[in-house]
Amino acid sequence: MKQTELNRISRDLVSRKKELVVATEKQEETKEELQSSKEELIVATEKQEETKEELQTSNEELQTANEELQSSNEELETMKEELQSTNEELITVNEELRVKNIDLSLVNSDLFNILNSIRLSIVIVDNHLRIKKFTKDAGKLLNIIQSDTGRKITDLHHNVIIKNLRGLLKEVIETPEIKILEVRDNKNAFYSMRIRPYKTVENKIDGAIITFVDISEIKTGVQKLTDLQNETKKITNNLEHIVKKGPNLLNLSTLI
């Protein structure tokens, strides 16, 4: 009986020992798992710290970007206000320019009507001898049409015989000196041609003005007056000749 009890106790001890070994193994496994978990926790904590630092850095960068964006927005707002102010000034300048253009157009229209109403042949050229303006009478006289505006006056074939027109214009522009000469057209009409400098309101030479005055009637009148003077002189000479021979004629009549 005692032997049986001892065997049972021995089996129990073996069983308990096995259980203890198993428990010890499990404890070791648990310890290893705990150690592994601890290491994983440490790694996770380190990663969390790194992530936290990265997040902090990103947050700082985002804060800096926000500040730069805010500064850019302020600069953009300032530029917008300046642009608005510039646009308003530009609108004002454009309006003033529009009014000045209207005034200039009216002045040009008035000048054009005045020049055409006084029936004078006038041509205005710039420093390069390009035609700027001309009256209708000048157009007929110099064979100029509207599309010739901007062309050099010396490149056209005129109805008036003018020797060295280019040289005359250049001399007037560069000197400046007024030139007056008598010219004739292809119909044998005579004109007094005057070339004088074209001056701006700032008193700068900006070309030349050419005017033509028809002096055909004056020339005809002068010629008639000259012919009359010659005829008068001839009659006077004849009378003087008759007076000088008068006594001889008187004696001849007495003898008869």
> Which DSSP string do the residues of 148-202 spell out, in sequence order?
GTTSBGGGS--SEE-TTHHHHHHHHHHS---EEEEEEETTS-EEEEEEEEEE-TT
**What's the CATH architecture for 120-235?**
2-Layer Sandwich (3.30)
Note the pTM of the prediction, 2 decimals: 0.53
User: How far is Cα 235 from Cα 244, in angstroms, rounded to an integer?
Assistant: 14
Tens-of-pLDDT digits for all 256 residues of the chain?
Answer: 566 777 777 777 777 777 777 777 787 788 888 888 888 888 888 888 888 888 888 888 888 888 888 888 888 888 888 888 888 888 989 998 898 888 888 777 777 777 666 668 899 999 999 999 898 889 999 999 999 999 999 999 899 989 999 999 999 999 888 999 999 998 889 999 999 999 988 889 999 999 999 888 887 777 777 777 777 777 777 776 676 665 555 454 444 4
Question: In sequence order, what are the residues at sequence separation of 6 or more whose Cβ sits closer than 8 angstroms to the Cβ of residue 108?
Answer: none
